[in-house]
Amino acid sequence: MDSETLYNLEHPPTLLHGIMISMKSMSQKLQNDIHGISAILCNYGFVQTKGRNQQRWVKSLYYEDDVDRLVTVTVHKNGRVDMYVNCSSHPVNYFEFRDILKFIEGSIMFLGPFGSQRVVEFGEAKDFRNVRMSGCNELSLRVFMNHWFRIYNKERLGVTRMEQHIKCDVPVSVLLDLFERMFLPVGNGFNNNTEGMFQ
């Protein structure tokens, strides 16, 4: 059964968007001078932010598959590296998420071992094509302080989206295992979800 058939049955697949990944860089505390990490970051195309957030460097990457997906990498002076995958208009499935991780790893491996990365936030969504909201534009429910659920019309895509955002702090390898169970049918024979990477 393909995705088009699932949509026609109004049982669309669960997809991921708004993914935030954090890791510690090789240096626990970065040095903001020409002899420190700032010169290296500039050589790799990072731009130091101005004003109040002067102690961080930002770079935008574009992962190309069927669309260009924006990945923003932020390096903080305390050594934390945040990677945000913005794919709200084109949510990703399990396999696409895994491929994006490999792309990010290759792009920032100079910052240190990628094995320390952790997912700290992600959203999951189902996009329905024919849902009657009966005059209601949006319904939101905050279950916990950092966990909320929302139903709304995403007019740009012409769908009704049911999504939830979850704050967490788990290794990427653990979340990949969870996503594999969510997205793939039982008994699919796919046992090694990371192919030796991200261990």
Residue 16 lies in a domain: yes
Residue 194 — pLDDT band, cuts 50, 70, 90?
very low
pLDDT at 176 over 70: yes
Strand stretches in the chain, DSSP E: 15-24, 47-48, 56-64, 68-76, 80-86, 118-128, 138-144, 147-154, 159-171
The pLDDT, as a whole number, for residue 33 is 47
User: What confidence tens digit (pLDDT) does each residue in 160-172 have?
Assistant: 888 888 888 888 8
Q: Is the residue at 59 inside a domain?
A: yes
Asked if residue 195 has pLDDT above 50, the reply is: no
**Averaged pLDDT, 97-108:** 86
C-beta atoms surrounding 94 within 10 Å: 21
194 in any annotated domain: no
pLDDT confidence of residue 34: 44
pLDDT at residue 72, rounded to an integer = 92
Domain count, the chain: 1
Report in angstroms the alpha-carbon separations of 143 from 36, 147, 182.
43, 6, 21
Q: Would you say residue 124 lies in a domain? A: yes
In this structure, the number of other CB atoms found within 10 A of the CB of residue 95 comes to 14
Classify residue 175: in a domain, yes or no: yes
Q: Phi and psi of 81, rounded to 5°?
A: -120, 120
Which pLDDT value is given to residue 67?
77
pLDDT digits (tens, 9 = 90+) for 68-88: 788 999 888 777 888 888 887
Q: Which domain holds residue 149?
A: 3-183
Is 161 domain-assigned?
A: yes
Q: How far is CA 50 from CA 47, 55, 79, in A?
A: 9, 8, 18
How many degrees, rounded to 5, is the angle at CA 93 between CA 149 and CA 105? 105
Q: For 19-70, write each residue's pLDDT tens digit.
A: 888 887 655 555 544 445 677 788 888 888 876 656 788 999 888 877 778 8
pLDDT in tens, 122-155: 888 888 877 777 777 788 887 677 788 888 888 8
What mean pLDDT comes out for the span 2-28? 71
Q: What is the pTM of this model?
A: 0.70
Say if 198 falls within a structural domain: no
189 within a domain of the structure (yes/no): no
